[in-house]
Amino acid sequence: MRVTVKLFATLVRFKDGSRAGRPFEAELPEDSVVQGLIDYLKIPPKETHVIFINNIIEEADSKLKDGDVVGMFPPVGGG
Q: Give contact residues for other proteins (rule: CB under 8 A).
A: 6, 8-9, 20-21, 49-50, 52, 55-57, 59, 71, 73, 76-79
d(CA 21, CA 28): 20
Beta carbon nearer to other proteins, 49 or 63: 49
CB of 56 to other proteins, least distance (A): 5
Decide: 38 and 60 in contact? Cβ < 8 Å. Answer: yes
Beta carbon nearer to other proteins, 29 or 56: 56
d(CA 49, CA 58): 10
